[in-house]
Amino acid sequence: MLNQKYGIGEKAPRVDGPSKVTGEAKFTADIRLANMLEARVLRSPFPYARIRSIDTSQAEALDGVVAILTGTDMSDIDPYYGHAVRDRPIVAIDAARFVGDPVAVVAAENAQIAAEALELIRVDYEELPAVTTIEAALADGAVRVHDTDALRLGLFHGLGDFRPHDNICYEHHMAKGQAETVFAEADVIVEGEFRFPAVYQYALETHAATAVWHGADQLEMWANCQHPYLVRAELADMFDLPKANVRLHVPFIGGGFGSKSYTRMEPIAAAMARKAGRPVRVVNSVTESMWTSRRHNMICRMRTAARADGTLLARTAEMWLDTGAYADNGPRVVATAADAAPGPYRWTAYQVDAYGVYTHRPPSGSYRAFGATHLEWIGESQVDQVARKLGMDPLEIRVKNLLKPGEPVRIPGKPMDADLIGDIRKVAEGLEWDKPRPPRVGRGMGIGLLAAGSRPVSTAFARLESEGTVTVLVSTSELGQGARTAMSQIVSQELSIPLSQVRVPDGDTMVTPYDRSTGASRSTTLAGGAVHLAALDLKDQLIAIAAAKWNVAKSDIILRDGRAWVGDQSATLSELLFYHFGFSGGELFGRGIVRPEQGQGTYAAGPVFWEVCVGGVEIEVDEETGRIHLRKIVSVADVGTAVNPAMIKGQEMGGAAQGLGNAIFEEMVFSDGQLLNGTMADYRVPKMDDIADEFVSYIVQNEDGPGPYGLKGVGEGILAAMPAAIVNALADIGIHINELPATPERVWRAIQQSKNV
């Protein structure tokens, strides 16, 4: 099957499928190095505690323990990291700031010995008053999680005016016009306070890293990280090494969803290997991964104003996002949430004030469609509320107010680059919007925008070897999203060769060239754009060689079916290389570089494209139990051009399932900073019988994206749309939810409240 040619738009099989199905695929925890030690992490039992002393003597005496790392071992390096704010030590130095904060690390001959040694370490803690909720952190006289005056910016902050204060890590403000003046003239105003929970990304593979030092100045690592070059830069900075002296391998990753964005377990593995003088591997348990990264919980107050004819006029939003004990990606999540608050509508005025709040909880970071998932359900529920007050159809009010292509979304920034009205009409078509609803059945839709693409810097090489095989060197991490297949299809398309002749190896910062990151729906658009340019470069070289071989113009040469043709004469790629080099050897390199235009590349100038977050649901509610049953999900993937339609539909189904979890089931439950449901037995995710009876997926191909062939990224939008659609479907049958997840208990209570109104 892989011997066939699969270009753009084809349902190509996944190139990594066979190795994963047979178990041959290697993940980070599968890596075994000679003389390797296993590490385990001792973590704080308190949300906030001063560390008076750590006694490791009994643990060190245990047979098989090689080394123990504590905060005193890092005086010769800069032990703090954080791509936005350098506020997180490798292990706690003066104090532990959340339950689960690393305090010490043991490296031993095996994992069992390391775990036993943890029990023998004695830590003298002084428990301190903690702020474990947003409200507590914002209260007058609240305990400070950090001395904000001493905070330093990270290597990749992009924060502009950075002024942390009290327990505010970062704030972002957006305004247009005079919102209060417009509100005073409105015919309809709706308002409310809304709460979004802390949620775990739940990738099947937990965080893992293996490190080995070659001498004192060469660090080599294997890690399941989404952004290898950013992690490399942080490690080099912490250990005072040239970037070229840090080599990071990235095997297959068993899911990321943002949980493996930026730096995670890599500093612990590197510091532990440095002290032990041997290779060290550290692998999280599920609970430890829940402590390592999560989605921000949030409180939001929003108001929306409209005219009597349904014209949306103004919106204000204040939001507070809990970034936990360390900033992580909180500042970017805050900014993206602010971006999402106005929604994809035309406004006379808006005012958005967003704050990232430090608390003594595990740190919050990236999670697929962050910001948009936080805000879309709130803004869209208010659009529906306005429509109900005016007696308008929810579809009609959206069509009336949605931005059209070319209209400004925010200033400065990229204007609207998608047909939103066409997209929302697709949702209505899939839901059979005008069809009468049975009792207890509601329909809802949601549409929003996600600032996608991240910083547009990606490079790639395409290496053609003498037998005609092309090796694509690109650093996009394969998280299960199908990046390697998409890259292979782009090369297959341009060089007219079958997928069997294309290889996409693991990422390796010594071999595969720079790519900014894997996230923000950027891989196929930007890294794929670099691969496309590399393939075109290679194609141009082959055409030039063929033209020289037959003494014809380059315009006379075409590539077809793995051969170069002029008239009825043809040659394989191998034959062209033989002609060019004079023997069976030699190779050609194609190079591709994607970079921002001058003056672009910043958050303010972005995004690379607006990812449309659009979808709809039909639900049925059991009024006796409050249980929601999904009858139908409708997704619309506005992709510009579909590289692989089958993979897109898979992305949409996966994103819808995660959105369903965020909307109905998932919540990390804390009590005084303690995570109460930190295992997969206690943390509820969607199961097979929770998925909708029917899944309808539309792929919109308007060739309006910035990537090759007019494509743009996909996969996050439906997640953000799902909570909005579900909340609006509940409201369609008179059940109003202001706090997620919409568990059976919350829905049942809302039903009882509606009966008493």
| Res 66 pLDDT > 50 | yes
Q: Which two tokens stand for residue 513?
A: 């060239």
CB burial of residue 467 (10 Å; 0-12, 13-18, 19+): exposed
Query: Hey, which CATH number is domain 370-453+607-756, 3.40.640.10, 3.10.20.30, 3.30.365.10, 3.30.70.3040?
Result: 3.30.365.10
Provide mean pLDDT across the span 708-726: 96
Element (H, E) at 213: strand 208-213
Cα(479)–Cα(302) distance, integer angstroms: 36
231-252 pLDDT, tens digit per residue, is: 999 999 999 999 999 999 999 9
Cα(79)–Cα(354) distance, integer angstroms: 30
- Which residues are CB-contacts of 757 (< 8 A; sequence separation ≥ 6)? none
Cα(605)–Cα(666) distance, integer angstroms: 34
From the list 474, 476, 482, 483, the residue with the least C-alpha distance to 518 is: 476
- Asked whether the domain spanning 370-453+607-756 has the same topology as the one spanning 31-130+204-255+259-292, the reply is no
- Lookup result for tokens 């400070």: 144
Cα(101)–Cα(96) distance, integer angstroms: 6
Cα(413)–Cα(67) distance, integer angstroms: 51
- Lookup result for tokens 């989605």: 295
| Res 123 pLDDT > 60 | yes
CB burial of residue 449 (10 Å; 0-12, 13-18, 19+): buried
From the list 421, 428, 462, 469, the residue with the least C-alpha distance to 445 is: 428
271-304 residues labelled b (16+ CB within 10 A) or e (exposed): bbbbbbebbbbbbbebbbbbbbbbbbbbbbebbb
> CA 640, 642, 647, 653: dihedral to nearest 10 degrees?
40
From the list 519, 690, 725, 691, the residue with the least C-alpha distance to 616 is: 725
Query: Would you call 417 helix, strand, or coil by DSSP?
Result: coil
SS3 content of the chain, % helix, strand, coil (to 5): 30, 25, 45
Strand-pairing partners, residue 108, are 38, 65
* pLDDT for the residue 332: 94
From the list 587, 501, 488, the residue with the least C-alpha distance to 541 is: 587
Q: Which two tokens stand for residue 118?
A: 């943890």
Q: CB–CB of 385/730 below 8 Å?
A: no
Cα(431)–Cα(442) distance, integer angstroms: 11
pLDDT band of 757, cuts 50, 70, 90 = low
Cα(605)–Cα(537) distance, integer angstroms: 29
Share of the chain above pLDDT 70, in %: 98
Cα 109 to Cα 40, 444, 661: the distances in Å are 11, 56, 40
* pLDDT for the residue 1: 36
Query: DSSP label at 207?
Result: P
Q: CB–CB of 459/592 below 8 Å?
A: yes
Cα(469)–Cα(537) distance, integer angstroms: 16
For the chain, the domains span 17-26+457-594, 31-130+204-255+259-292, 370-453+607-756
Q: Which two tokens stand for residue 153?
A: 């910016």
Where do runs of H (alpha helix) occur along 167-254? 179-184, 228-238
Cis peptide bond prior to 607, omega within 30° of 0? yes
From the list 644, 635, 651, 638, the residue with the least C-alpha distance to 610 is: 638
* pLDDT for the residue 456: 87
Q: Which two tokens stand for residue 461?
A: 């090489």
From the list 314, 487, 429, 418, the residue with the least C-alpha distance to 717 is: 418
| Res 161 pLDDT > 80 | no
Q: CB–CB of 51/89 below 8 Å?
A: no
| Res 754 pLDDT > 90 | no
Query: Would you call 195 helix, strand, or coil by DSSP?
Result: strand
Mean residue pLDDT across the chain: 95
Lowest mean pLDDT among 146-160, 311-325, 384-398, 477-491: 146-160
Cα(372)–Cα(376) distance, integer angstroms: 5
Cα(289)–Cα(264) distance, integer angstroms: 10
Q: CB–CB of 106/117 below 8 Å?
A: yes
Cα(317)–Cα(183) distance, integer angstroms: 13
3-state secondary structure 35-58: CCEEEEEEECCCCCEEEEEEECHH
393-430 pLDDT, tens digit per residue, is: 999 999 999 999 999 998 788 899 999 999 999 999 99
Q: CB–CB of 520/452 below 8 Å?
A: yes
Strand-pairing partners, residue 711, are none
Q: CB–CB of 436/615 below 8 Å?
A: no
Residue 118: alpha-carbon gap to chain centroid:
33
* pLDDT for the residue 520: 84
What amino acid is encoded at 424 in this protein?
I
- Which residues are CB-contacts of 540 (< 8 A; sequence separation ≥ 6)? none
Q: Which two tokens stand for residue 29?
A: 């925890």
Q: CB–CB of 628/688 below 8 Å?
A: no
- Which residues are CB-contacts of 258 (< 8 A; sequence separation ≥ 6)? 201, 226, 293, 329, 365, 366, 367, 368, 370, 519
Cα(521)–Cα(515) distance, integer angstroms: 14
644-695 pLDDT, tens digit per residue, is: 999 999 999 999 999 999 999 999 999 999 999 999 899 999 999 999 999 9
| Res 333 pLDDT > 90 | yes
Residue 755: alpha-carbon gap to chain centroid:
40
Q: Which two tokens stand for residue 577?
A: 């290389």
Provide mean pLDDT across the span 31-43: 97
Provide mean pLDDT across the span 351-371: 97
Provide mean pLDDT across the span 425-447: 97
| Res 599 pLDDT > 50 | no
> CA 307, 751, 200, 514: dihedral to nearest 10 degrees?
-30
Q: What count of Cα atoms within 13 Å lies in the side-chain half-sphere of residue 741?
A: 26
Cα(134)–Cα(300) distance, integer angstroms: 11
Q: CB–CB of 278/66 below 8 Å?
A: yes
Cα(291)–Cα(268) distance, integer angstroms: 15
Query: DSSP label at 34?
Result: T
CA-only gyration radius of the chain, Å = 27
Was domain 31-130+204-255+259-292 assigned CATH 3.30.470.20? no
Q: Which two tokens stand for residue 752?
A: 């009882």
Handedness of CA 529, 534, 539, 541 (dihedral sign): positive
The CATH code for residues 17-26+457-594 is 3.30.365.10
Q: Which two tokens stand for residue 739?
A: 């706090």
Q: Which two tokens stand for residue 102?
A: 């690393």
Q: Residue 653 CB: number of other CB atoms within 10 A?
A: 17
Phi, psi of 753 (to 5 degrees): -65, -40
